[in-house]
Structure 1
């Protein structure tokens, strides 16, 4: 699976929080960047970020002077950071959850920046890893279901609920692969323990 470190942009610039917004604009224009990382004031400090949107919405739209306004007045700090070893799919989920457009990649120090554009450029690699993750999750849930049923009884509600989880995962896998599920893991289990089918008739 691709990781954040595989697709991040290593050519990234930092700017002081005390710099003017006009300085930030000049730096953005000079390299055709969309955002800058705001450097830490000391090692224990957090990184920040200033983007084109921050400048447009918080400075220009408000009629404020970029020559006198400072970066620290409009930056986002602390900003959400990405571990370079994080899988690409999980990076995408993090972006979706927090409505991010970009984030710095940090592991002790600033390594790069990753954006939605970077993710989309490599999205063709996401489908297969997702299926592999589901397969791994499925096998784990089948093991759990068998343990639960052995402990609580094959007719127990706990046993039925555990197999519900398994079937949900199998249904998602079938959808991902665009394939019809021939036989579920629960049906295989019922071949061994026919009485377990009765547990699926419980009322929630």
Structure 2
């Protein structure tokens, strides 16, 4: 299964903010869109990701305020992207190895979507269930 197959089911909505808004404003967008992370895009380039985890670790635990801190001061940088043709096992390896939860999907400089660790796990489970079904059919002689 590929990233493109996940996006075809999930959709390719990309929610983003700019780095110069307050963390509070970014959190409001997360709440409105019901997502746990947002791409940070400045001048049509991904410069970071703002996640709930960033807020918890870099604002709350450091006694900062979300209204007095800019997104660029706490966002995750060094963004790793994937292509729509990448395999989900490759994505899982990246996420596990780099300890990240979101991968922007980029093709020819355009952001096509974002896949999360939840999307990848769901796809792997569905893939395994299909394999189990085929093996069960084969073993029981009901395979067509």
In the aligned structure 1, how far is the partner of 2:46 from the partner of 2:25? 21
Structure 1 residue 12: Cα displacement = 2.2
Which protein is richer in strand relative to its size?
2
Counterpart check, 1:117 vs 2:118: yes
User: What is the match of residue 26 of structure 2?
Assistant: 24
**Could you list the runs of 5+ residues in structure 2 that have no partner in the other structure?**
132-144
The residue that corresponds to 2:56 in the other structure is 56
> Normalising to structure 1: TM-score of the pair?
0.57
- Unaligned 5+ segments in structure 1 are 130-204
The runs of at least 4 aligned residues of structure 1 exceeding 3 Å deviation read: 126-129
TM-score by length of 2: 0.80
Aligned partners of 1:52 and 1:27: how far apart in 2?
12
Pairwise CA RMSD: 1.9
Residue deviations 1:140-169 (CA, integer Å, cap 9, x gap): xxxxxxxxxxxxxxxxxxxxxxxxxxxxxx
Aligned to 1:7: 6
Largest Rg, 1 or 2: 1
Residue 47 of structure 1 and its aligned partner are, at CA, apart by: 3.2
State the alpha-carbon separation in 2 of the partners of residues 57 and 79 from structure 1. Answer: 18
- Compute the displacement of 1:40 (Å): 2.7
Aligned to 1:47: 47
Contact 1:46 1:77 in 2 (8 A): no
> Quick one: structure 1 residues 47 and 111, their matched pair in 2 at CA, closer, same or farther if it must change by over 3 Å?
farther
Does the CA-based 8 Å contact 1:80-1:103 persist in structure 2?
Answer: yes
- In the TM superposition, what are the counterparts of 1:59-138 in structure 2 within 5 Å? 59-107=59-107, 108-124=109-125, 125=127
Q: How many residues align?
A: 126
More helix by share: 1
Distance 1:78 1:96 in 2: 16
